[in-house]
Amino acid sequence: MSPNPVAKPFDRVVWIVLDSVGIGAMPDAGEYGDEGSDTLGNIARCQKVELPNMRRIGLGNIKPLAGIPPAEHPAGAYGKCRLASPGKDTTTGHWEMTGIILDRPFPTYPHGFPLEIIQPFEDAIGRKVLGNRPASGTEIIQELGAEHLRTRSPIVYTSADSVFQIAAHEDVIPVPELYLMCEIARNLLRGPNEVGRVIARPFEGKPGHFVRTANRHDYAVPPPDGMLLDRLSQHHVPVYAVGKISDIFLGRGITHSVKTKNNSDGMEQTANAMRTQTNGLIFVNLVDFDQQYGHRNDVPGYAGALEAVDRWLPSLDMRNGDMLILTADHGCDPTTPSTDHSREYTPLLVYGAGVKSGMNLNTRGTLADIGQTVAENFGASIAAGSSFLHEIRKDNSTFQTL
């Protein structure tokens, strides 16, 4: 017998994570070496950036931003979220959104992985590794790619994030074998060395012209039971994941997923999802802000990516029963000397026909407030966070496009 449908304020939630688009340093940012970081604020200060649609929802009302003045009558609800967990990485931010607040950060390896990790890994795969240090993924394959072709040794590297990354040329170590190496690493990295993600980073091409392929695969730590996607599954709510969302949550509670090559592909896949899935949650990560521009300190590229998403927003097939949520998981300020993630508040914009316009959601105590809001909308609840559904909800009205 089919479960009874749950009366819900919003039939469909489109939740878009603008990966690393922070909006100002948190009070403890200095403990992370991030004092003064402000991804959105510093980009706007350094370069003119046109974000008329996000401004219309309320972006400039969250805090002063150069060239993005407050909207006199914001079209949506606006605020910012504090990261309650220690850390500043992808897994921490996304997990917290779904109700998992960590009591200790995932381990990082600023000097590379110790012998107690590397030796068992090399023994298990039957090869020595190259690299074993923090590095930019695109730079280390240019530096060590030729030696990798000669020795057939995989390139292992990390970053300020809690990651164990393995890069290999697809003609030297085929993708299935690279994935097996990642599974071996994932099984070895337990206890105090349980990194947030092991990532396969296949590439192709010739020396001087190596490029990463679309066959990246993330092996995350299994999230604890009871997070948002589990609860939605228990309530028979469909979840459509776009980008790396499925990898972060190991596919749990997800009814359909699609990987993406870049932001442009992510936006196209989101539009496709909105055409095919008329209810439930569409959960999206747009990764280029972080991967392509933040970690490379590319201010013009970051600004251009923000403008591209802003131009795209009005094309979304928004319906009267939809709620659109825009937020981020952490910062990655491209204007600072650091190329690492930054400990920042994340913006929160909520829009839709049923959302009260001009509602100031202020500073939320945790990113989990978003997950709790989504959970409540679908008749569920999660362990952490305070729902703001009652604050933003209004009687249904005729939808007005951006």
Domain assignment of residue 205, given as a range: 115-220
pLDDT at residue 402 in the model:
64
The whole-number pLDDT of residue 7 equals 56
Residues 44, 49: Cα–Cα separation, whole Å: 6
| Pairwise CA distance, residues 60 & 395, whole Å | 26
Q: For residues 249 and 379, state if they share a domain.
A: yes
Among 175, 191, 220, the domain boundary falls at 220
∠ CA 264-266-267, rounded to 5° = 65
In a domain, 108, yes or no: no
Buried b (16+ CB within 10 A) or exposed e, 3-31: eeeeebbbbbbbbbbbbbbbbbbbeebee
CA distances from 201 to 20, 114, 220, 266, 290 (A): 20, 21, 14, 19, 16
Query: So what's the pLDDT on residue 397?
Result: 46
Distance of CA 18 to the CA centre of its chain: 7
Domain total for the chain?
2
51 shares a domain with 132? no
Do 134 and 97 fall into the same domain? no
Q: What is the pLDDT along the chain (402 residues), one digit of tens a residue?
A: 334 444 589 999 999 999 999 999 999 999 999 999 999 999 999 999 999 999 999 999 999 999 999 999 999 999 999 999 999 999 999 999 999 999 999 999 999 999 999 999 999 999 999 999 999 899 999 999 999 999 999 999 998 789 999 999 999 999 999 999 999 999 999 999 999 999 999 999 999 999 999 899 999 899 998 999 999 999 999 999 999 999 999 999 999 999 999 999 999 999 999 999 999 999 999 999 998 999 999 999 999 999 999 999 999 999 999 999 999 999 999 999 998 999 999 999 999 999 999 999 999 999 999 999 999 999 999 999 999 999 999 864 444 556
- 109: enclosing H helix or E strand: none
Residue 96 sits in the same domain as residue 179: no
Residue 109 lies in a domain: no
Helix axes 299-312, 39-46, angle to 10 degrees: 100
Q: Supply the pLDDT for residue 394.
A: 86
Domain boundary among 170, 202, 220: 220
Are 68 and 195 within one domain? no
Report, in angstroms and rounded to the nearest whole number, the Rg of the chain calculated over CA atoms.
21
DSSP 19-82: TT---SB-TTGGGGT-TT--HHHHHHHHS----HHHHHHTHHHHS--TT-PPPSS-SSEEEEE-
Tell me, what CATH number does 367's domain have?
A: 3.40.720.10
Q: What is the pLDDT of residue 6?
A: 45
Question: Does the predicted TM-score (pTM) go above 0.85?
Answer: yes
End-of-domain residue from the set 179, 205, 220? 220
Query: Which two three-digit tokens encode residue 273?
Result: 């999802």
